[in-house]
Amino acid sequence: MATTARTTTVTVVNGFFMMSPSLTSVTITAQPACGPRISNRDMADIGQIIASCPSELPVHRPPSAKAKHMDGTVYKVMSRTAFAEAKAKGRFEGSADDRRDGFIHLSSADQLEGTLAKHFARGKVLVVLAMDTTTLGERLCWEPSRGGDLFPQLYGPLPFEALIWEEPIELGTDGRHRLPARVLP
């Protein structure tokens, strides 16, 4: 008797999960109707679905469905001048790039070095802000970007109520930025 492999596919569409019958493996996919947006709640739910799968079933995770993104802290890099101006207003409304793209670009701890190298290579007077994901709420979404990895993106102003801490980013003599020790993944 031939065995047919059947897969459970969990599809996230605007926060709603749809599952097909399951027997041999689980494939996690995200297909939002309004773009590739995955909220913090979706990521947590996907993690619970993966955790609830029988251990004998292989789970096929896209590179973006990694627990490392769910530590409760995201980071924003900006100039110290922009930070001082935003702090005086009580919120950051975004850089020119953020406003152009319609959301505030953020990074997880393991993405910061790549963000600095790609977008701030010549920045000498920078600060990194650590932001609490719970306080940012549903406006924080995880969306595919560089290399298909999920990046946190905030739809709306960055409120300083979510600020955990801020620290300057030093530029080493070799031209590379030095992240504060508490940021290192």
The pLDDT confidence band at residue 51, using thresholds 50, 70 and 90, is low
**DSSP category for residue 66:** -
Are both 149 and 113 inside the same structural domain? yes
Are both 78 and 163 inside the same structural domain? yes
Provide the greatest CA pair distance for the chain: 72
CATH of the domain at 75: 3.20.170.20
Which region among 54-68, 101-115, 121-135 has the lowest average model confidence (pLDDT)? Answer: 54-68
Are both 85 and 174 inside the same structural domain? yes
Residue 126 has pLDDT above 70, yes or no: yes
Over residues 116-127, the mean pLDDT reads 86
- The CA distance from 118 to 115, in Å, is 5
What is the residue whose two structure tokens read 């609490």?
A: 132
* CB neighbours of residue 70 within 10 Å: 15
Which region among 12-16, 146-150, 172-176 has the lowest average model confidence (pLDDT)? Answer: 12-16
Q: For residue 137, give the 3-state DSSP assignment.
A: helix
Q: Give the pLDDT confidence of 132-173 residue by residue, as tens digits.
A: 999 999 899 998 887 788 999 999 999 999 999 999 998 888
The pLDDT confidence band at residue 33, using thresholds 50, 70 and 90, is very low
| Whether the Cβ atoms of residue 135 and residue 106 lie closer than 8 Å to each other | no
Q: Which of 3, 1, 2 is nearest to 25 (CA)?
A: 3
Q: Is the dihedral of CA 105, 109, 114, 117 positive or negative?
A: positive
Domain that holds residue 156: 67-183
- Looking at every residue in the chain, the average pLDDT score rounds to 73
The pLDDT confidence band at residue 109, using thresholds 50, 70 and 90, is very high
The pLDDT confidence band at residue 124, using thresholds 50, 70 and 90, is confident
All residues at 6 or more sequence positions from 20 whose CB lies less than 8 Å from its CB, including other chains: 7, 8, 9
Do strands 140-144 and 59-60 pair parallel, antiparallel, or not at all (unpaired)? unpaired
Residue bearing the bigger pLDDT, 153 or 69: 153
| Whether the Cβ atoms of residue 124 and residue 171 lie closer than 8 Å to each other | yes
Are both 153 and 104 inside the same structural domain? yes
Are both 101 and 19 inside the same structural domain? no
Are both 52 and 87 inside the same structural domain? no
